[in-house]
A = this chain, B = another copy of it.
Amino acid sequence: MNQKKIYVTGLGPGNADHMTGAALASMADADIVVGYKTYIDLIKDLDCVQGKTLKASGMRKEVDRCQECLDLALEGKTVTLVSSGDAGVYGMAGIMLELVEKQKADVEVEVVPGISAVNAAASILGAPLMHDYAVISLSNLLTDWELIKKRIRCAGEGDFVIALYNPKSKGRPTNINTCQEILLQVKDPKTPVGIVQNAMRDGQKKCITTLDQMCDQEINMFSLVIIGNSKTYVTDDGQTMITPRGYTL
C-alpha cells in the first residue's frame, strides 16, 4: 500500500543555511521534488536530493504544478513541492490543499514551514517587527486593487508596522506610489522604511530610508519593503531599524 503523500515545503529565503532539518528531510523522503525553476536551482546540489527526480516548471503555472504533484501522488509517489520562504504565505500550500479538497483526493498533505521572506528581511534590517504588524501584497493580479488600497489604509490607521510583498514589477510599476500616498495621509513622512532585495541570496542589498523618500529607492520584484510604526527608529549609524516593544532600558 502506497502512502500517497505530498509535502509542501518552505525553503526559506534561499540559502541552504536557512532551511530547516524538516525541510531537508521532506526532500530526502520524496521520490520526486517539484518546484518553480528558480527554487529547484536553489536545492539541486543538496545531498538530500541527489539521485531523485527534480521537476522544474515555469512561472504562473501554479495550479498546473499542484495538479501534477497530485497526479504523481495518486500514482503512489511521494512528492515534495518546494516554494521559497514559507509555503503557507502567498505560497503553494493553499493551492495544493484546495485542489486536494476540491477533488476529494485520498492524499495526505503535510505543510513544512520555512523562514518567511518577511522574517528574513527583518533580520537583515535589525528588528522592525518587534510589535504588531500587517503583511500586504501589492500585486493586484489576483486581488482587487480597491481591497488592497483599503488594507493599506486600515494598516496605516492602526499604526501597524507594514510589510509589503510584491511591491513593484514591470506590470505594476506605480502601486507602490499609491501605497505611499495613502500612508502619507496617516503616517509621519519621516517614518523609517527598510528595503531588502534578494535576502540571503546572491546580490543581497539593504536600504534604510523614510516613507516620503522610499519611492526614490531601487524597488523591484525581488524586494521586500518594511514600513515602521510611529515608534520605529533608526540607529545613529543609519544601519539598523528597530521597533521598540516597550521595555524600559
Contact = CB atoms under 8 A, between A and B. Distances in A.
B240 A89 contact: no
Given A89-B130, A114-B115, A249 B136 contact: no
Interface residues of A, number: 75
A153 to B, nearest CB: 8
B20 A95 contact: no
B88 A129 contact: yes
A235 B236 CA distance: 51
A127 interface: yes
Contacts of A157: 154
Interface string A49-82: 0000000000000110000000000000000000
Interface of A: 10, 12, 15-22, 25, 62-63, 86-91, 93-99, 101-102, 111-116, 119-120, 122-124, 126-137, 142-143, 147-148, 150-151, 153-155, 157-160, 235-236, 240, 242-249
